[in-house]
Chain A
Amino acid sequence: MFNITLGQYYPGRSFLHQVDPRTKILATLVYSVFIFLVKEPEGFYLVAGFALLAMAASRIPPLTLIRGLRPILIFLVITLAFNAFMTPGETLWGWGPFRVTREGLAFGGLMALRLVLLVLVTSLLTLTTTPIALTDGLERLLRPFQRLGLPAAELALMMTIALRFVPTLFDEAQRILRAQQARGARLRVRGPLAQMQALLPILVPLFVAAFRRADELAVAMEARGYRGGRGRTRMRELRYTWRDGVTALAVAAFAAGVVYLRLLAG
């Protein structure tokens, strides 16, 4: 029922799995920005090629990756349809005031492709990086901003905790749902107000459970001497290896390629 691939670690020891989380986060950021700079068809070979390379380096079965696209299917359809109808140009097919144009179809297709590649690459980040490594990486990347008052360690801890408890809360929600169904609960009812009321018997116990867990966690952390981020040493130290060098070079080459094509066209 609650199957979300985004943010689910896929265990492995591939090249991409062993790249430092900081490198992977930055690479994903660069990719997400540059994918929107690309406008020419040649550029799309470049972004698609980079995505394929990353997929190959992750050794994750393509089917698993494609399954992760299912939640955005509706966005893809809307993007494609919206662009196909709204872009002026050579009419391919018309019905009343609605026209599908060649330019619209091409533009919508490119937009949809962009979305697919973006989701594929970002899910590669979360599939090849454990949530813990991801927050470690983020904390390190945000550390320079600590001088400006950004509580990087606390933010990272909050993220770790949130990630850790998402599956727990899903399980809890399912359990509560079953218990209320056993008492004859009906979830499919008419009207938004009735719908809200029907959900109360699930949401209230879920919140109560979340607060109970938070209390227990706070006590457990204090009992083990947690006093905040200052002066904490870490069990896992992040270290760059040759893999990070290779990844950085690949990202740089990709970015340079995109800029070069932009200049050619410009």
Chain B
Amino acid sequence: MSIELEHVSYVYNPGTPAQWQALRDVSLTIRPGEFVGLIGATGSGKSTLVQHMNGLLRPTSGRVRVFGMDTSDPRTDLTRVRQRVGLVFQYPEHQLFAATVAEELAYGPTNLGLAPEEVQRRVRWALRAVGLGEELLTRSPFSLSGGQARRVALAGVLAMRPDVLVLDEPAAGLDPLGRREILDLIRNLHREGMTIVLVSHSMEDVAELATRVVVLDQGRVVMDGPPRELFRRHRELAALGLAAPVAAQLVDALKARGWPVPGQAVTIREAVAEVTAALAARRRERRPEGGREGGRAGV
């Protein structure tokens, strides 16, 4: 098991007027090779939860084990925990600080105490992994475009060679192309065997990428399962302030109106396939009738 959370609760500012319970009895296991989508309305505890996954926060009660290491145990070396679970915060380009991209990428591996040659190897590997060329190594990270800076920041975490990568809204604030690039990149990392936890507001992204979806509401895990199953329950999701992917809502509405669609789609591509198949079937039905146009036009 990669990450195990057992009955985790977390309270911010205990004993003050600003006391706030962010997590309530969360039990969750992240298995190797999974792609977990973590969704929930603002304030549902997503960010607090992901910070437990690499020991940045320690549970007020309950236990978190990362590859067997208990993060609350004072003997646990948290640097080792953070090496195995890479955490990419929202707008990670805001944490860039070094004079060159090379130095920026070397920061994590150097903190791990690796030999200089190994650090250099990882710097080059990480840069390639995010699809950037080596000509960027000598550039200042502050001179890069938004999408490039985001990818350099991501590479800065990847250079630590984590087994699990946790990303908080990695595509937020990017243009459609930059968004596409980042998501493709994450998909590739997963294909190459990395375990991924993706926090996102975008149901579309989660539907497309995740193999499992966990829904948080007011600090509790309220749903946990395959995206296809979960996004069928869009009434429940709506009650939690979340919307199922547009594609799932569309095929459900069509099915309710009597269209011959399976109603299983959760991504746009799948919805297109279902609708075109239904249209093709309808055309085949009509042809023998002798070209009479009409019926329910406009549906």
Interface residues of A (CB under 8 A from B): 175-176, 178-186, 200-205, 208-209
Q: How far is the CB of B74 from chain A (nearest CB, A)?
A: 15
Task: Say which one of B1-9, B92-100, B210-218 lies at the interface with A.
Answer: B92-100
Cβ contact within 8 Å between B87 and A182: yes
B108–A200 contact, CB under 8 A? Answer: no
Known A175-B94, A178-B89; 20 more pairs at CB < 8 Å: A175-B89, A179-B89, A179-B94, A180-B107, A182-B82, A182-B157, A183-B82, A183-B108, A183-B156, A183-B157, A184-B83, A184-B108, A184-B160, A201-B95, A201-B98, A201-B107, A205-B94, A205-B97, A208-B94, A208-B142
B92 and A179 within 8 A (CB)? yes
Beta-carbon contact of B79 and A182 below 8 Å: no
Say yes or no: B95 contacts A179, CB within 8 Å.
yes
- With a cutoff of 8 Å between Cβ atoms, the chain A residues found around residue B54 in the complex are 182
Per the bound structure, the CA–CA distance linking A131 and B4 in Å amounts to 45
Determine whether the beta carbon of A178 is less than 8 Å from that of B51.
yes
Residues of A within 8 A of B88 (CB): 182
**Contact between chains at B82 and A205 (CB < 8 Å):** no
The docked-state distance in angstroms from the alpha carbon of A204 to that of B56 is 21
Q: A164 to nearest B CB, angstroms?
A: 19
8 Å CB contacts to A: which residues of B85-134? 86-89, 92, 94-98, 107-108, 111-112
Contact, CB under 8 Å: B107 / A183: yes
B residues apposed to A, CB below 8 Å: 51, 54, 56, 79, 82-83, 86-89, 92, 94-98, 107-108, 111-112, 142, 156-157, 160
B56 to A181, Cβ gap below 8 A? yes
Complex Cα spacing A183 to B95, Å: 11
CB distance from A96 to the nearest CB of B (A): 40
A181 to chain B, nearest CB (A): 6
Contact B157 A184 (CB under 8 A): no
A11 to chain B, nearest CB (A): 10
Query: A175, A184, A209: which contacts B82 (Cβ < 8 A)?
Result: A184
The answer to whether A176 touches B111 (Cβ under 8 A) is no
Contacts of A175 in B (CB 8 A): 89, 94
Q: Please name all residues of chain A whose beta carbon is closer than 8 Å to the beta carbon of B79 when the two chains form the complex.
A: 184, 186
| B156 contact set on A, CB distance < 8 A | 183
Cross-interface CB contact of B94 among A182, A185, A201, A209, cutoff 8 Å: A209
Contact between A184 and B89 (Cβ–Cβ < 8 Å)? no
Contacts of B51 in A (CB 8 A): 178
User: Shortest beta-carbon distance, A187 to chain B, in Å?
Assistant: 11
User: Which residues of chain B are near A176, meaning CB under 8 Å?
Assistant: 94-95
User: Can you name the residue of chain A whose Cβ is closest to the Cβ of B18?
Assistant: A3
Q: How far in angstroms is the closest Cβ of chain A from B55?
A: 9
| B107 adjacent to A182 (CB under 8 Å) | no
Cα distance A208–B157 when bound, in Å? 20
**A178 in contact with B56 (CB, 8 Å):** yes
Query: Which of B97, B98, B142, B157 has the most chain A CB atoms inside 10 A of its CB?
Result: B97
